[in-house]
């Protein structure tokens, strides 16, 4: 699952990075994006790319009773379940992110667990595009099997698009299902890094930049 991520680069840099022609909503840096938050996405298009603000999460279209909020779609589901395929063909978007947060669960006994948050970034700390699906209501992030780095704490990770795949992913005329599926592979572990965060990062109400400051960096400042 990918339930938390962050985006804080300057909007001008994002416009250049993703060749956005127009941004319809200006959002401040977001250090702890959680379900129901508004966030920046780029829907696939056949002409100019437009950055829009959409809600993280949609009403689950696959459950009629008590549908709840859907925030992720599994990459495997597009091949295994016919109902998912149209979303991949027709409703793709790129979710603008600087990294994501995952939790390592530790059994503390008596059926209780403790969760420790970690941030995951690409090694050059460049802004990335997460593979997403959008509707009028909002968007979800596509997840895949974890790479060796993420698997140390979790059994899923968001699909980070390779830069060479972003152009095709954002081309709404592309309907080649087999080609699209190949883009949903785990990002190489060798090109990523992780760092443990303070527990304050686990609380979605904590939106300040300080929640992304790794514990190791904090401790070094105290030495």
Dump pLDDT digits (tens) for 91-106.
999 999 999 999 988 7
Q: How far apart are CA 76 and CA 21, in angstroms?
A: 32
Predicted confidence (pLDDT) at residue 223 exceeds the cutoff of 50: no
The CATH number of the domain where 37 resides is what? 3.90.1680.10
Render pLDDT for 18-45 as a digit per residue (tens, 0 to 9).
999 999 887 899 999 999 999 999 999 9
Render pLDDT for 112-168 as a digit per residue (tens, 0 to 9).
667 899 999 999 899 999 999 999 999 999 999 999 999 999 999 999 999 999 999
- Give every CB contact of residue 200 below 8 A, 6+ residues apart in sequence: 206, 210, 211
Domain of 215 in residue numbering reads as: 5-222
Q: Is the model's pTM score more than 0.85?
A: yes
Structural domains counted in the chain: 1
Render pLDDT for 186-196 as a digit per residue (tens, 0 to 9).
999 999 999 99
pLDDT band at 110 (very low <50, low <70, confident <90, very high): low
């Amino acid at each position: 699952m990918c339930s938390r991520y962050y985006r804080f680069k300057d909007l001008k840099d994002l416009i250049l990075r993703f060749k956005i022609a127009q941004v319809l909503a200006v959002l401040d840096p977001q250090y702890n994006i959680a379900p129901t938050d508004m966030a920046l996405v780029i829907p696939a298009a056949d002409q100019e790319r437009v950055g829009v603000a959409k809600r993280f999460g949609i009403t689950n279209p696959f459950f009629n009773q008590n549908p709840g909020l859907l925030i992720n779609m599994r990459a495997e589901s597009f091949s295994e379940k016919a109902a998912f395929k149209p979303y991949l063909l027709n409703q793709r978007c790129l979710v603008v992110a600087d990294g994501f947060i995952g939790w390592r669960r530790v059994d503390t006994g008596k059926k209780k667990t403790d969760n420790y948050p970690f941030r995951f970034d690409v090694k050059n700390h460049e802004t990335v595009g997460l593979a997403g699906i959008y509707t009028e209501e909002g968007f979800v992030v596509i997840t895949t099997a974890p790479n060796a780095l993420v698997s140390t704490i979790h059994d899923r990770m968001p699909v980070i698009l390779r830069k060479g795949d972003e152009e095709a992913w954002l081309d709404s005329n592309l309907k080649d299902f087999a080609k699209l599926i190949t883009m949903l592979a785990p990002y190489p572990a060798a090109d990523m890094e992780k760092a443990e965060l303070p527990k304050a990062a686990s609380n979605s109400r904590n939106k300040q930049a300080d929640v992304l400051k790794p514990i190791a960096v904090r401790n070094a400042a105290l030495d």
